[in-house]
Amino acid sequence: MIEVDGLAFHYPDDTAVFEGFSWRVAPGEAWAVLGLSGGGKTTLLYLIAGLRLPVQGTVRIGGEPILRPRPQTGLILQDFGLLPWATVRDNVALGLRIRGFYGPDGKHAPAGEAVTARREITQAWLDRLGLSRVADSFPGQISGGQRQRTAIARTLSLQPDLLLMDEPFASLDAPTREDLQNLTLQLRAETGLTTVVVTHTIEEAALLGAQVLLLGQLPNRTAHIIPNPGGADPAFHTSPRYTKACALLRRELEAVR
């Protein structure tokens, strides 16, 4: 699904973030990216999303080089990225409206049909994520958890095959964060999405990633991969193996400081 080959990337001050870095993600896999602050986690996500381009090397998704953002990649950011002047309903429908609606034949649907389809898809995601009662509210009038659910609904309504998340729950309180972590895992299981979640939290990495990519001191040259059997399963959180996984990740993180 994702092929990173010989990646090199520098910050504007010429600090090398990646040098000769390679990494593979298979379709349907769930990954967490964990590492030191300033270690390149978000930069890697932006390179995969096509928002930044490597100095050397290539990033491919489905065999295609990434030279710009691709429509099938969903990106959810920490600040939610919602339009403050648009209602929850309009925020969820935003991507569908911008991209337009395609019929079963792959062609743009007629205007009337497109509007009807967009309304139906939007309402289905509002219902699925428990947002129907706040659908006509504005982002400033709802909770942080509801804003993040709106961002998730907007992204998944476009039926992506790859979901990238950049510390999506960092600003939320613990109960809301746990609820949305479980929701993300449920949606991933339902859709078969390939997911890559950047996090600075060991416990979140252990829960959301069946495999964990650990980034250390700059520049990153080698993909340090930690298998995490049981990760990406909501039930894993209550398993004794979860505590052991967190302890392992803590040791590995300390080792790269």
Q: In the prediction, which pLDDT does 106 show?
A: 44
Helix (H, G, I), strand (E, B) or coil at 73: strand
Phi first, then psi, for residue 101 (nearest 5°) are: -110, 130
* pTM, to two decimals: 0.87
Model pLDDT for residues 152-167, shown as the tens digit of each residue: 889 888 888 999 999 8
**Cβ contacts of residue 38 below 8 Å, gap of 6+?**
218
Higher pLDDT, 252 or 115: 252
Q: 3-7, 44-48, 72-76, 224-228: lowest mean pLDDT where?
A: 72-76
44 closest CA partner among 254, 210, 206, 197 = 197
Mean pLDDT in the chain?
88
Whether 3 has a pLDDT exceeding 80, the answer reads: yes
pLDDT per residue over 172-183, tens digit each? 788 888 888 888
The continuous run of DSSP H or E covering 205 comes out as: helix 202-208
Q: Which domains does the chain have, with CATH numbers?
A: 1-72+163-257 (3.40.50.300), 85-159 (no CATH)
> How do residues 97-132 score in pLDDT, each as one tens digit?
877 655 444 455 555 566 777 888 899 989 988 899
Distance CA 227, CA 211 (A): 5
pLDDT for 114:
65
